[in-house]
Amino acid sequence: METKVWKFRGNIDLKTASVFSIARVIGDVKTNLNQSDQRPIIPLSIGDPSIFPCFRTAQVAEDAVVDALRSANFNGYAPKGGVLQPRRSLAEYLSCNLPYKLSPDDVYVTVGAKQAIDVVLSALRRPDANILLPKPGYPAYEALSVINRLEVRHFDLLQEKDWEVDLNGLQKLADDKTVAMVIINPGNPCGNVYTRDHLKKIAETARRLGILVIADEAYGHLTFGSDSFVPMGLFGNIAPVLTLGSLSKRWMVPGWRIGWIARSDPDGIFKEQGIVDCIKRSLITHTEAATFIQAALPQILEKTTDDFFVKTIDILRQDADMCYERLMEIPCFTCLQKPQGSLFLMVKLDLSQLQGINDDMEFCSKLAKEESVILLPGFVLRMKNWVRVTFGIEPSALEDGLARIKAFCLRHASKC
């Protein structure tokens, strides 16, 4: 048979992008689990508290979804960008802390926050464009930047200043091809919460550089420290802001896959620069969020009572305090700050105090094998020899997991 030269081949960008995948790395860590260990696996690696009864979503949220589904009015396709009434409710919800009101036209409903990231990055794509991402940060931004052919440049978060943005370093990275910067507040993976003053400085820096701010507020309002949550959109009159959010974390329903993009741009810069049109065109190429989940949004946003949020915050505060205090007792760990928000904190490994462990991936792999505890290696967040710890789980399970981590570290402690 004649040898044929096939003209198709795999997309190398997808191979590169998959390097920046939390799910892939956690999957690799889990391959080390000891199947004969009868103890429950403690998942301190991923931000999904919904599997624990103490973090069950609000009854009103469940009822809203059931009502929308049983009405039989929301079984068809949703319009691109979202159904009008949910967009109106989102605009009202997001306007609560702003000095101006968003309209339904300022809001787009997406299939979770990750689709929102993809839509925004595709709207910004142009030849030789670059984007400024935080280090450490959320790897999906890097993966989707690769797929959208945006050059990535990383600015540092300052460990000694509660993970604030290194604004001086950021400005040195920017050039005439820079289109945007990303901030994540409350912070994933660091558990930090930015002050109003720092957010204003970020907006002023973006204005000087002539770039927009992509504000990832997926963990918005999940704060339990001294600083309350301040939305970046508050400074949309200084620099235009695209806020990305989701129902997933505040309502503990990541599987419902409902997110949004909101434009905070009272001066109309996005429309002038063609960004509004590009977002709409990008949405045309994407699937829509489930219509019945969209239809449930107004009831969820308007009728969820404060006691649900207070209960969630109280548990997270208890978890965060426990996690920080117990990890501080382990000599090979350095915890720079007690987490103030989100579900995470970053811990630095001192490998000189551990025998037979050479890096963060080996630490997490051996921990999974010996103790059935799953942590996220920091290398996937561009923080080699750090680990991200998720504390948003049932307090009793967290206590068990932290005890196992301590036992593991003591067992592997250097004898020097």
Q: What share of the chain is helix, strand, coil (3-state, %, to 5)?
A: 45, 15, 40
Instruction: Provide the token pair at 204.
Output: 């002023």
Select from 127, 86, 152 the least CA-distant residue to 289: 86
268: left (phi over 0), alpha (psi -120 to 50) or beta: left
Task: Tell me the per-residue pLDDT of 154-166, one tens digit each, with 9 for 90 and over.
Answer: 999 999 999 999 9
Per-residue pLDDT of the chain (416 residues; tens, 9 = 90+): 677 788 888 888 888 888 889 999 999 999 999 999 999 999 999 999 999 999 999 999 999 999 999 999 999 999 999 999 999 999 999 999 899 999 999 999 999 999 999 999 999 999 999 999 999 999 999 999 999 999 999 999 999 999 999 999 999 999 999 999 999 999 999 999 999 999 999 999 999 999 999 999 999 999 999 999 999 999 999 999 999 999 999 999 999 999 999 999 999 999 999 999 999 999 999 999 999 999 999 999 999 999 999 999 999 999 999 999 999 999 999 988 899 999 999 999 999 999 999 999 999 999 999 999 999 999 999 999 999 999 999 999 999 999 999 999 999 998 75
Buried b (16+ CB within 10 A) or exposed e, 378-407: bbbbbbebbbbbbbbbbbebbbbbbebbbe
Q: Cα-flanking dihedrals φ and ψ of residue 168, to 5°?
A: -65, -45
pLDDT of residue 96: 93
- Residue 387: strand pairing partners: 347, 377
pLDDT of residue 416: 55
pLDDT of residue 357: 97
DSSP alpha helix (H) spans, 49-136:
59-70, 84-95, 112-124
Output DSSP code: residue 40: P
Instruction: Provide the token pair at 234.
Output: 């508050």
Q: Cα-flanking dihedrals φ and ψ of residue 344, to 5°?
A: -135, 160
Select from 23, 222, 42 the least CA-distant residue to 114: 23
Could you identify the residue written with the tokens 């280090």? 135
Select from 337, 325, 302 the least CA-distant residue to 395: 325
Select from 378, 365, 382 the least CA-distant residue to 333: 378
C-alpha dist (Å) from residue 140 to 19, 24, 117, 132, 143: 10, 12, 8, 14, 5
Select from 232, 239, 227, 229 the least CA-distant residue to 216: 232
This prediction has a pTM of 0.96
Instruction: Provide the token pair at 101.
Output: 């009101």
Select from 215, 156, 155, 145 the least CA-distant residue to 186: 215
Count of other CB atoms within 10 angstroms of residue 190: 27
